[in-house]
Structure 1
Amino acid sequence: MPDLLIELFSEEIPARMQTRAGEDLKKRITDGLVEAGLTYAGAAALTTPRRLTLAIEGLLAESPTIREERKGPKVGAPDKAIEGFLRGAGLTRDQLEERDTPKGAVYFATIEKAGRPAAEIVAEVLEATIRNFPWPKSMRWGSGPLRWVRPLHSILCILTDEAGAQVVPLEVDGITSGDTTAGHRFMAPNRFSVTSFDDYAAKLKRAFVVLNPTDRAEHIWNDAQNMAFAAGLEVVEDKGLLAEVAGLVEWPVVLMGQIDDEFLDLPPEVLQTSMKEHQKFFSVRNPKTGRIERFITVANRETADNGASILAGNQKVLSARLADAKFFWENDLRVVKEHGFEPWVDRLNNVTFHAKLGSQGERVIRIGHLAGELAAATGADKTLATLAGQGCKADLCSEMVYEFPELQGLMGRYYAAAAELPEEIGQACEEHYSPLGPSDDVPTAPVSVAVALADKLDTLTGFWAIDEKPTGSKDPFALRRAALGVIRLVLTNELSMPLLSTFTMQVSDSSEFEEKSADLLSFFHDRLKVFLRDEGIRHDIIDACIAMEGNDDLNLLVKRARALNAVIATEDGENLVQGFKRANNILTQAEEKDGVEYSYGADVKFAETDNEKALFAALDGAQGEINTALKSEDFPSAMSAMAALRGPVDAFFEDVQVNTDNDILRRNRLNLLSQIRKVCSSVADLSKIEG
C-alpha cells in the first residue's frame, strides 16, 4: 500500500486561514479518494505560511473492481426498450442473461467496472480540489483562471511504496506536479526533491522550515518563557496570539526587547493591547509590580547580529505607537481630573445607538434609571447604581477607547479612579458588559450586577419594542447573548427579580408593550432551555415548570426545574409521573364524557378499601408538606413530598376501579383523581413531561 504526499506551495497564506485550509484540504482529498474506492489507513494535514501539506498513509494501490447487476426489460419487450437498457449498461445483447422470475423471463445485465490506479484517481481529486478550494478570499494572477489565496507556485504530489517514489502527473493552469519543494524563503530558498513524507519533513527542517504548527507554537512559547524567566519576568499568556504568530513564521526566532521607560506607567492593558494589535508582540510583565516592562517578538529568520537589528527596528516602531497611546492617556486623564465624566456623557448625545432607539446619551439615562430600580434586588445602593448606570458608557468618548475599542469598560475603571469617583462606579464601568460569552466571568458586586442587568435589559426591551428580534441564525444585535447574560447574572447572584415588571420599567406605554413582554419572556425561556441543557435538564422538565405561576422569576424557575429534574431521575418520581398521567387521562375523559368538572372534593366516608382511604390521608399530608415547602421556596422538599405519593397512588389503581357502576363511588373517585392532579400540579405541570 503506497503513501501519498501532497504539498501546495504558494506565497504567504494569512495566519487566520491556515488551520481551516489544512482541514479543508484533508477533507476534500480523503472524501474524494474514498468516493472513488480508495481507502486509507490515516491522514494528517500540516501548514506553514507558505505551504499546505497532506500526508496519507496506507492508500490502496488501485480501486477495486466493482460488479453491479441490473434488472432489465422482460424477454420479448420492444426492441427500443431493450436497446435503451443496453446503452445505459454499456453492453451488447449477447451479454444479457435471461432469468425466470415470478413475472416471467427477464433480461439481467452484469456490469463490471474495472479498478483504476491510485495515481489516476489522486490526480483527478487533487485537481478538482485545487480548482474549487473554499478560501474565504482568493485572487487571480497571471492570465489563467485559477484562483488561490495567494499565487500558487508549485504542486508536490508523490506516491511512495517499497519500489520508491512516483510523481502523480497532473497540471493545473501551467503548474505541473513534481517531487520538489523549496525551503525557507531567505535562509534556504533552493528547491530540492523528496521521496517520502519522512524525507520531506527532515529536509525541510534542514532547510529551516518547521512543518508542524504545533511544534512552532511550542518552540515560541518555551523560548519566550525561558527568556522572561532569566530576566525575572513572566510572559502574559495569550493563546490566540500564539497561534497567530506560529502562522506567520516558518523558522521561529524568539527575541525579547525593551520598552522605553517613559511608557512603563501606562496601564498594562494599554501596553498589551497596543503591542498585540499593531505589532503581534507578547507582553512581558514584572510579577512583583504587574507592570508590562518588555516585549517578545518572533522573527522568521536568524541573523548575523542575533536579531539586534530586528529588535532595534521593532523598538523604534513600538515607541511611535506607544507615544500615541501615551498622548491619548494623558489627554483623557486631563479631562476627567478637571471635569469628571460630564463632558463625555454629554458627547454621548451625539453618538447614535440605533435610529429608532435614540442616542447613547438617551440610553445611559434609561440604564441609570433601571439600575437604580434594580438596586434593591441586587443589594446595591440606589444612588450609586443610578450614577454608575449613567456613567457606564462615558469612556466611549475617550481618545483611548476611540483608538482601541476593545478597551471599553476597562478604561472606564481607570478614568473613574482618576476622577475620584466611588470605587463601585469604576468597577461597574468595567464589568457591566459581562458576561459576554459562556466562559466569561459573571459580575457579583451589587452595583456592577445592577448596571450589567440594566444594560442588557434595556437592549432587549428596546429592540423588542421596535420589532427587531432575532430570526433564524441572524442576530445582528446579539440579543441572544444579552438574554443569556441576564440569565447568568440572575442565577449566579440568586436574584429574585420578576422579569415582566422589569420589562415595563423601560417602556413609556406599558399597556401597549404587554403582548411584546410575553413574547420577550418566551424568548428568555427558550434561552434558558439552551442554558440548562448543558446541565442535562430536558426541555419538557423546564416546560413543566414554566407552566407554573411566577415563571418570570428565573431564579425560582431554575430552582424548581433542578428539583423536578432530580426527582424525575428517581424510581418514585418516574412512576409517580406515570400515575399522575393515568389519573389525569381518566379524569379528562370522564369530564369530557359527563360534561362536568370533578373538582368539588372527594369524601373519605365513601372510600371502600384501605388503599383508597390511605390515598386520602397521603394526599392531605402531602398537600400540607408541599404548601409549607413552596412558601419557603424549598423545591427539593416539595418535590420529595410529591414523589412520596407514588406508593399510595399505585396501590389505589391496583385496588380500585374508578369507573364503577355505582355512580356515587365513581363521582367520589373521580374527585379523588382531581385531588391527585391538584396536589401534583401545585408543584409542576406533570402533563408536560414526555415519555
Structure 2
Amino acid sequence: MPQLLLELFSEEIPARMQAQAARDLERMARERLAAEGLLPEALKTFAGPRRLTLVAEGLPAAQSDRHEERKGPRVGAPDQAIDGFLRSTGLTREQLTERDGVWFAHIHKPGRPTPEIVAEMVDAIVRGFPWPKSMTWGRGTLRWVRPLKRILCVFDREVVPFSIDGIDSGDVGEGHRFMGDAQPFRARDFDEYADGLARHFVVLDPEERKERIMDAARTLTFARNVELVEDEGLLAEVSGLAEWPTPILGDMDPDFLDLPPEVIRTSMRTHQKYFAVRDPQTGFLVPHFVTVANIEAADGGKAIAAGNAKVLSARLSDARFFWDEDRKIRLADRLETLKGVTFHARLGTMYERVERIAALAAELAPYVRDDGITRAKAIEAARLCKADLVTGMVGEFPELQGVMGGYYAEKEELDPEVVDAIRHHYRPQGPNDAVPVQSVAATVALADKLDTLVSFFAIDEKPTGSRDPYALRRAALGVIRIILQSRTRLPLKRFASDDLLAFFADRLKVLLREQGERHDLVDAVFALGDDDLVRIVSRVEALSQFLATDDGANLLAGYKRAVNILKAEEKKGPLPEGDPAEMAGAPPEEAELANWIGHVELEVGKALSKEDFAAAMLELANLRAPVDAFFDKVLVNSDVPAERENRLRLLVKVRDAMGRVADFSQVTG
C-alpha cells in the first residue's frame, strides 16, 4: 500500500524540544488520520536539529465511502428544531426517515483521495503545533519554533500539493548546512529520503546519532587510556545539536584539576556541552574533554579542540575565581545574608527557613539516633546547609547547591559528619538518587524535606493532578525512603497534619506498588491509624505473605462472611457486647471456635508487642479451620435469642482479633 513521507524543514530546533516535538507530530497525525478513517499500518517520526520527519506505511489511496445515521428531533417537534437539524445535515425534510416517532437523517459521504486529506492534515498540524515557544518572521502570520523553510510531502511517490503561508510542498530535501555539495536532493519515498540524507551528511534517527557519539567517544578515550564520563542527559542534548555528530578529544589545562570535580564537570556540561574524561583506575578526572562537532574537519578536529580548550579555560578561570573568593567568607558568616533571600512570599526568607530546619532537626535527631552528639551536629549542619546559596559558585551553578557547601565546610575543617550532612541534605533528589545513610545527614535531609512539605501544605499549596510546582511528591518520597532505609521510628503525626499524612500514605502506596506490593494492603494497614512507616511496611510485607497462602485466602473469605453478617445485624440494632458464654448443648464447632479465639487473641497480642508481624499472621492462620467449621455447621441466626446473641459475640471476637493486625475489610482479594 502507498507510503506517506513528510518533512518540515526549518532553522535550528532547540535540542530540548525535539523529542517532544516528534511525539506531538506522531500524535497529531494519528488523531487526524483516524478521524478520517485512515489507519496506517505503521507510523514513525524523527526529530533533529533542523527537521521533523514523519513516515506512514500502509495508507489506502483513498478514504472509504462513509454512511452515517444521525438521530434528530421527535416527529411533531417545532419547525425551528427540525430546520436546525436539516441545516446541520444538509438534507431536506423529504430525505428524513421516521422511526419510533423520531426523525433520522441518513448521510452518505463519498470517500476522498488520501492526498486531499493529507494536505488538510499537514496544514492543521503546522498551524496548531504545540511548541513551548514559537515565533513569526517576515510579514507572515505563521508561527513555528524557528522560521519554516521547506515542506517535503509525498504520497505514493507523488507530491501532495498545498501551500502554507507561501511555502509550497514538494519532493525536495536538503542535507547538511556545510558539508558535501549542499545541493537539495529529490526524495519520493522514505528510502530515497534516508539515502539522500546520508549522502548529504545528515543522521536522521536521534538514537543513531547517540550511538555514533558514544561509539566514537569511547574509541577516542580508549586510545588515550582514559575513560568517558557517561552522561545520559548531556548525550540527549548534544545529539540534538548536530546532524553529523563528530566527537573530538581535546586537552584542558591540568592546573584546573585542583578544582572540585563537580565544578569542572558542571562547567563543561552547562556552558560548553563537553563530556568529562577520567582515569579508569582511580576514577579521578584527567585533563581532557570530549566535544561533539557538527562537521568532519580536514585537520581531524585539532583546531576545534584547541578553540574549545581556550573557551573552557576561560570558564574554569571564572570558576576558580568563585572558588577562591567564596572560601574567604565562612559559611556561618553568610547566614545574615540569607535574611535578604526570599524563600516564598508567604513562607518568609531563607534565613527563617533555616531556623525552622534547625528546630526540626533538633526534634528529629533523637528518632534517627538517640544521642546528644548527633543532635548537636544536626543542628549545626542544619543552620549551615543553605549558606552556600549566597556564594558566587552556586550563583553561577545552582545545581551545585549543597555540594559546594560541603566543600566549603570541609575547607573550614568542620566535623566530617557536619560536612557530609551539608553536602547530602538534598538527597534523594529522584528515584535513582542515593539516600543519606549517615545519621546526621539523614536527620538534616529529613528536616529539610519535612519543612518543605509542612510549610506548603500549611498555605494550601498542594499538588493537584499532574501539577506539582514545588516537587512535594518528590519530597514525600524522599522522606519515606530515608525513614525506611535508616529504620527511623518516626511518629509522623507529631509533625504532619491529617492531609499531609494522607499524602504520605498515597506516596507510600506508589513506592510499594513499584516494589510489587498491593495498594489495598497499604490501605488495610494505614486504616489502623499507625504513623510509623517502618512498622507499616513490616505489617504490609507480613500481610502480603499471609494472604498468599491458602490459610490466609480462606480466612479472609471467612472474615468477610463474618463482617457481612455483623453489618446486616447492625442495621437492626446494636451488636451484643461482651465475651461469648458457654452454652449448654452448643455445637462442638462453636465451642472450638470460642476456645481458639481466646488463644489467638493472647498470642497475637504477644506477637504484636514484639512487632513480630509474621508470627501474628501465623497465629491468625490457626483460626482458619475453626472458622470454616463454624460456618459449615453452626446457624448464626438461631431462633433461640440467647444462641443468636452468643454467636454474634463470637463473630465480633473474630473480626476484632483480625482487626488488630490489619483492617481486612480494605483488602480487595
In 1, Cα distance between equivalents of 2:339 and 2:85:
77
Post-superposition offset of 1:592:
5.2
Post-superposition offset of 1:367:
2.4
In 2, Cα distance between equivalents of 1:274 and 1:664:
83
Match for 2:504 among 495, 514, 524?
Answer: 524
RMSD: 2.9
1:414 maps to what in 2?
Answer: 407
Alpha carbons of structure 1 residues 583 and 83: separation in structure 2 relative to 1, 3 Å: closer
Match for 2:138 among 136, 142, 147?
Answer: 142
2:129 maps to what in 1?
Answer: 133
Contact 2:175 2:202 in 1 (8 A): yes
Post-superposition offset of 1:245:
0.6
- After TM superposition, the structure 1 = structure 2 runs for residues 315-394 of structure 1, keeping only pairs within 5 Å, are 315-335=309-329, 340-379=330-369, 381-394=374-387
Contact 1:332 1:398 in 2 (8 A): yes
1:154 maps to what in 2?
Answer: 150
Post-superposition offset of 1:641:
1.6
Matched, 1:231 2:210: no
In 2, Cα distance between equivalents of 1:71 and 1:661:
60
2:551 maps to what in 1?
Answer: 572
Secondary structure in 2 aligned to 1:63? coil
- Structure 1 segments unaligned to the other structure (5+ residues): 504-515
1:435-469 deviation per Cα after TM superposition (whole angstroms, max 9, x unaligned)? 12222211111111111111112222333444444
Q: Which amino acid aligns with 2:5?
A: L
Matched, 1:654 2:632: yes
Post-superposition offset of 1:70:
6.6
- After TM superposition, the structure 1 = structure 2 runs for residues 493-504 of structure 1, keeping only pairs within 5 Å, are 493-501=486-494, 503=495
Alpha carbons of structure 1 residues 294 and 656: separation in structure 2 relative to 1, 3 Å: same
| 48-57 vs 673-682, which moves further | 673-682
Q: Which amino acid aligns with 2:238?
A: V
Q: Which amino acid aligns with 1:628?
A: K
| Percent identity between the two aligned chains | 53
- After TM superposition, the structure 1 = structure 2 runs for residues 585-664 of structure 1, keeping only pairs within 5 Å, are 585-590=564-569, 593-595=572-574, 597-606=575-584, 608-664=586-642
- After TM superposition, the structure 1 = structure 2 runs for residues 672-683 of structure 1, keeping only pairs within 5 Å, are 672-683=650-661
1:508 maps to what in 2?
Answer: none
In 2, Cα distance between equivalents of 1:674 and 1:280:
68
1:628-651 deviation per Cα after TM superposition (whole angstroms, max 9, x unaligned)? 110110112212222331221121
In 2, Cα distance between equivalents of 1:552 and 1:37:
54
Alpha carbons of structure 1 residues 671 and 85: separation in structure 2 relative to 1, 3 Å: closer
- Structure 2 segments unaligned to the other structure (5+ residues): none
Alpha carbons of structure 1 residues 676 and 124: separation in structure 2 relative to 1, 3 Å: same
Matched, 1:116 2:106: no
Alpha carbons of structure 1 residues 386 and 65: separation in structure 2 relative to 1, 3 Å: same
Post-superposition offset of 1:18:
1.2
Post-superposition offset of 1:471:
4.4
Match for 2:304 among 284, 305, 310?
Answer: 310
Match for 1:555 among 534, 540, 547?
Answer: 534
Secondary structure in 2 aligned to 1:264? helix
Post-superposition offset of 1:81:
10
1:444 maps to what in 2?
Answer: 437
1:457 maps to what in 2?
Answer: 450
1:98-139 deviation per Cα after TM superposition (whole angstroms, max 9, x unaligned)? 99x7x69x9987643222222111111111111111111111
Contact 2:276 2:285 in 1 (8 A): no
1:373-415 deviation per Cα after TM superposition (whole angstroms, max 9, x unaligned)? 3333223622222222222222223221121110111112222
1:546 maps to what in 2?
Answer: 526
In 1, Cα distance between equivalents of 2:57 and 2:310:
49
Number of matched residues? 664
Secondary structure in 1 aligned to 2:497? helix
Contact 1:268 1:292 in 2 (8 A): no
1:151-189 deviation per Cα after TM superposition (whole angstroms, max 9, x unaligned)? 1111111123xxxx2111001111111111211111232
Match for 1:293 among 287, 293, 297?
Answer: 287
Alpha carbons of structure 1 residues 482 and 676: separation in structure 2 relative to 1, 3 Å: same
1:512 maps to what in 2?
Answer: none
Secondary structure in 1 aligned to 2:306? helix
Q: Which amino acid aligns with 1:575?
A: N
Post-superposition offset of 1:73:
10
Post-superposition offset of 1:600:
1.3
Post-superposition offset of 1:270:
0.5
Alpha carbons of structure 1 residues 585 and 328: separation in structure 2 relative to 1, 3 Å: same
| 35-44 vs 46-55, which moves further | 35-44
Secondary structure in 1 aligned to 2:258? coil
Alpha carbons of structure 1 residues 17 and 71: separation in structure 2 relative to 1, 3 Å: closer
1:594-649 deviation per Cα after TM superposition (whole angstroms, max 9, x unaligned)? 54x52311123546112111101211221122111101101122122223312211
Contact 1:591 1:598 in 2 (8 A): no
- After TM superposition, the structure 1 = structure 2 runs for residues 18-417 of structure 1, keeping only pairs within 5 Å, are 18-68=18-68, 111-160=107-156, 165-187=157-179, 188-289=181-282, 290-335=284-329, 340-379=330-369, 381-417=374-410
Q: Which amino acid aligns with 1:493?
A: S
Secondary structure in 2 aligned to 1:19? helix
In 1, Cα distance between equivalents of 2:215 and 2:426:
34
| 107-116 vs 675-684, which moves further | 107-116
Contact 1:576 1:646 in 2 (8 A): yes
In 1, Cα distance between equivalents of 2:311 and 2:618:
68
Post-superposition offset of 1:563:
1.9
Contact 2:61 2:113 in 1 (8 A): yes
In 1, Cα distance between equivalents of 2:578 and 2:78:
80
Alpha carbons of structure 1 residues 74 and 496: separation in structure 2 relative to 1, 3 Å: closer
Q: Which amino acid aligns with 1:534?
A: E
Post-superposition offset of 1:470:
3.8
Matched, 1:671 2:667: no
